[in-house]
Amino acid sequence: VENVRLLDRLSSRRAVLGTLYLTATHVIFVENGSETRKETWVLHSQISSIEKQATTASGCPLLIRCKNFQVIQLIIPQERDCHDVYISLIRLARPVKYEELYCFSFNPKLDKEEREQGWKLVDLNEEYNRMGVPNNYWQISDVNRDYGVCDSYPTEIYVPKSATAHIIVGSSKFRSRRRFPALSYYCKGNNASICRSSQPLSGFSARCLEDEQMLQAIRKANPGSDFIYVVDTRPKLNAMANRAAGKGYENEDNYSNIKFQFIGIENIHVMRNSLQKMLEVCELKSPSMSDFLWGLENSGWLKHIKAIMDAGIFIAKAVAEEGVSVLVHCSDGWDRTAQVCSVASLLLDPYYRTMKGFMVLIEKDWISFGHKFNHRYGNLDGDPKEISPVIDQFIECVWQLMEQFPCAFEFNERFLIHIQHHIYSCQFGNFLCNSQKERRELKIKERTYSLWAHLWKNRADYLNPLYKSDHSQTQGTLHPQIAPCNFLYKFWSGMYNRFEKGLHPRQSVTDYLMAVKEETQQLEEELEVLQERLANLQKSQSGDNKVKNKQQDRSKQFGLYTSNNSLANTPQEYSNDLKSFPSRSPSQGDEEDSALILTQDNLKSSDPDLSANSDQESGVEDLSCRSPSGGGCLPSEDSGKDSDEAVFLAG
């Protein structure tokens, strides 16, 4: 469709004319005119909703909301075209078969062997060995080898040594969806562990001897402690309501030596609505400070993030400081339980704060234990009530921790944002389906590629320059504060306003330091070369013209690097509620252009398809959410004087 206008979300006055293309996998918008022919690419699987608004004189507006928080506003001149686009997109954005998803057609040009290597990068067996199991207290159980006991659990599961197959099967029958207590994290230092399960089918009075024995076995696996915590991550009211349906929570009288604890994290429906409300706040056009803060409070989002974090802190404290094992569950044990177990593991074990460890953590607590990725993130058309930003919340918890502990994580914000993006993109097979069983049946590993290998290949882009493996912050357990005035939970504009570049810091300390470190590395290499050369020269005392030539090449290269650092000074578009601020001064164009070329180099490599706008120019814009060149690429033709003055008056 031609002559389509793409509106700028922050300023309705700015729009670009272009052509809209629909392909089997993407929506593509190509700008007319401008030399660069800026393109915007959106994967169909990223589309969360499409809204056709009332036709106006200028055309028919179409609003596309994406799961990675991009909002695209188009105006299509012909009503008929708009309707066609709308109908096609609705179909394309809601595939009904896994085979329709992008990962089955995505080919990053790797051969079979590389693909297999990629899938082997994250190996859970290795991970359990790293934790220190199997050992005297824990063993691997094959009770679920053909998913016979629990179809949403993995085949290989660690259980206490004293838990016989009889106990496990008995316990599984007393738990929702037969998700019996299994090991999530084992603390080598003091034998304390984190186990996870679903709720018991206790109703008002039911008991199960095997389940009680199972919990005993978990306690015995930690000889240093005479009780275990059972943490129910639901609000008490919800848990009590479940009793009427024959489910519920553990009765302290029936289980010996447990301490039972509720931690009120709300259910997926509350979280879905909360995110919805927060995104509405993000979408407000020129909100006042109170609109924003009130909206943020009213959405409850940060309260929920804090609840998850508090639960993680509680468990980490029990394990690290009290040396007490914890059994965590919610209702089914695949949403809140996954969040809380992974936050606690992250606080406890520095390994999970490395890039590789973080992949392992998601693989362990989320993918292998049957977090329902397909349902929660709506990869296939399904029940909208199943959709909920469960893992998004976990990712945000990690970001909040990164803000408080800037040196503790090996990876940077970009790493988190890219993982979030790919959970929805369906470009890689990792997050397909709802369980390991389904993934095996679909032969995911033979037919798709692994995101982890892709991220690992580009790990240089995701490094936190402040991280050092021998730093005190890197070691041991993290102890975050609890009160909001001590641990400031912030709105994460890097994620939720990811595509509104104008809102972000205009210079990124992370990118700056990454560039410095890269330069440092080059300097180190050059130093070595120079020293060697000097030694040779002094030895032989014979002239060598080649040296000189090479040296000149080097210095050229350094010139480039210096300007790479100074690109942090890129001028920015200034926009605010007056809408009157010109986008940018033409006289500053040079710097901006050079910035684009420079950032492109280090970002383009990472992921051309990740960005929604992904040709040379726009790819930079999207990926560089923390890059210093965050500003818009639009020239400022429309900062006409008349319109500006008119707005001043309004202001």
Partner 1 sequence: MEFAELIKTPRADNVVLHRPFHAAVEGTLCLTGHHLIFSSRRHDNAEELWLLHSNIDSIEKRFVGSLGTIAIKCKDLRIIQLDIPGMEECLNIASSIEALSTLDSVTLMYPFFYRPMFEVVEDGWSSFLLEQEFELLSSVTNEWRLSCVNKDFSVCPSYPPVVIVPKCVDDEALRKVALFRHGGRFPVLSYYHKKNGMAMMRSSQPLTGTNGRRCKEDEKLVNSTLRSGRRGFVIDTRPLPVAQQARAKGGGFEQEVYYPQWRRIHKCIERFNILQESFIKLVEACNDQSHNMDRWLSKLEASNWLTHIKELLTAACLAAQCIDREGASVLVHGSEGTDSTLQVTSLAQIILDPRCRTIRGFEALIVREWLQAGHPFQQRCAQSAYSNSKQKWEAPVFLLFLECVWQIHRQFPCSFEFTEQFLILLFEHAYASQFGTFLGNNENERAKLKLPQKTMSLWSWVNRLEELNRFQNPLYEANSLVIWPSVAPQSLQLWEGVFLRWNRPSKYLEEAAQETLNIIKYNKELQARVNALRRQLAEIEVDEEEQEEQ
Phi, psi for residue 185 in degrees, rounded to 5 = -145, 135
* DSSP 8-state assignment for residue 429: G
Which among 59, 80, 74, 83 is positioned nearest to 27, based on CA atoms?
74
Which among 203, 201, 185, 202 is positioned nearest to 193, based on CA atoms?
185
* Tokens at 289, concatenated: 């400070």
* Minimum separation from the CB atom of position 589 to partner 1 (A): 12
Q: Is 590 annotated as a binding residue?
A: no
* Minimum separation from the CB atom of position 645 to partner 1 (A): 7
Nearer to partner 1 by Cβ, of 120 and 471: the residue is 471
* Minimum separation from the CB atom of position 423 to partner 1 (A): 23
The residues in 234-253 that bind partner 1, with binding defined as CB under 8 A, are none
Nearer to partner 1 by Cβ, of 63 and 547: the residue is 547
CA triple 467-607-375, angle to 5 deg: 90
Q: Is 615 annotated as a binding residue?
A: no
Residue 566 within binding range of partner 1, rule CB under 8 A: yes
* Tokens at 432, concatenated: 């397909």
**Residue 406 CA: distances (Å) to CA of 282, 480, 642:** 26, 12, 47
Residue 512 within binding range of partner 1, rule CB under 8 A: yes
Number of residues that bind partner 1 (CB under 8 A): 100
Residue 71 within binding range of partner 1, rule CB under 8 A: no
Interacting residue with partner 1 among 534, 560, 597, 646 (CB under 8 A): 534
Interacting residue with partner 1 among 172, 238, 572, 611 (CB under 8 A): 572
Residue 226 within binding range of partner 1, rule CB under 8 A: no
Residue 580 within binding range of partner 1, rule CB under 8 A: yes
Q: Is 407 annotated as a binding residue?
A: no
476 in helix, strand or coil? coil
Catalytic one among 66, 330, 397, 433?
A: 330
Residue 188 within binding range of partner 1, rule CB under 8 A: no
The residues in 447-466 that bind partner 1, with binding defined as CB under 8 A, are 465-466
The Cα 274–Cα 296 span in angstroms is 9
Residue 306 within binding range of partner 1, rule CB under 8 A: yes
Residue 577 within binding range of partner 1, rule CB under 8 A: yes
271 in helix, strand or coil? helix
Residue 321 within binding range of partner 1, rule CB under 8 A: no
Residue 116 within binding range of partner 1, rule CB under 8 A: no
Pairing of strands 325-329, 228-232: parallel
Nearer to partner 1 by Cβ, of 441 and 637: the residue is 637
Site string for partner 1, 400-419 (x = CB under 8 A): ----xxxxx-----------
Q: Strands of 4-7's sheet, edge to edge?
A: 39-43, 26-31, 15-22, 4-7, 71-76, 60-66, 47-52
Question: What is the residue whose two structure tokens read 């021998």?
Answer: 470
All residues at 6 or more sequence positions from 525 whose CB lies less than 8 Å from its CB, including other chains: none
Phi, psi for residue 51 in degrees, rounded to 5 = -130, 125
Residue 317 bridge partners (DSSP):
none
**Quick check: is 330 catalytic?**
yes
* DSSP 8-state assignment for residue 479: -
Site string for partner 1, 270-289 (x = CB under 8 A): ------------x---xxxx
Q: Is 268 annotated as a binding residue?
A: yes
Contact by Cβ (8 Å): 393, 400: no
Q: Is 399 annotated as a binding residue?
A: no
336-348 vs 301-317: helix axis angle to the nearest 10? 60
DSSP element (H, E) containing 47: strand 47-52
Q: Is 331 annotated as a binding residue?
A: yes
Site string for partner 1, 599-638 (x = CB under 8 A): -----------------------------x----------
Which among 71, 101, 97, 76 is positioned nearest to 87, based on CA atoms?
76
Site string for partner 1, 141-170 (x = CB under 8 A): ------------------------------
Applying CB under 8 A, the span of 38-46, 95-103, 182-190, 530-538 interacting with partner 1 comes to 530-538
Contact by Cβ (8 Å): 69, 53: no
Residue 591 within binding range of partner 1, rule CB under 8 A: yes
* Tokens at 158, concatenated: 């660690």
Interacting residue with partner 1 among 17, 63, 90, 530 (CB under 8 A): 530
Applying CB under 8 A, the span of 130-138, 150-158, 213-221, 498-506 interacting with partner 1 comes to 498-506
* DSSP 8-state assignment for residue 558: H
The Cα 417–Cα 485 span in angstroms is 26
Residue 88 within binding range of partner 1, rule CB under 8 A: no
Q: Is 614 annotated as a binding residue?
A: no
Residue 13 within binding range of partner 1, rule CB under 8 A: no
Interacting residue with partner 1 among 125, 205, 469, 472 (CB under 8 A): 472
Residue 504 within binding range of partner 1, rule CB under 8 A: yes
Q: Is 330 annotated as a binding residue?
A: yes
Ramachandran category for residue 433: left, alpha or beta (phi over 0 → left; psi -120 to 50 → alpha): left
* Minimum separation from the CB atom of position 569 to partner 1 (A): 4
Residue 290 within binding range of partner 1, rule CB under 8 A: yes
Q: Is 334 annotated as a binding residue?
A: yes
The Cα 434–Cα 277 span in angstroms is 27
Pairing of strands 60-66, 47-52: antiparallel
**Catalytic site positions:** 330
Residue ranges for the known binding site are: 267-268, 330-336
Annotated binding site for substrate: 267-268, 330-336
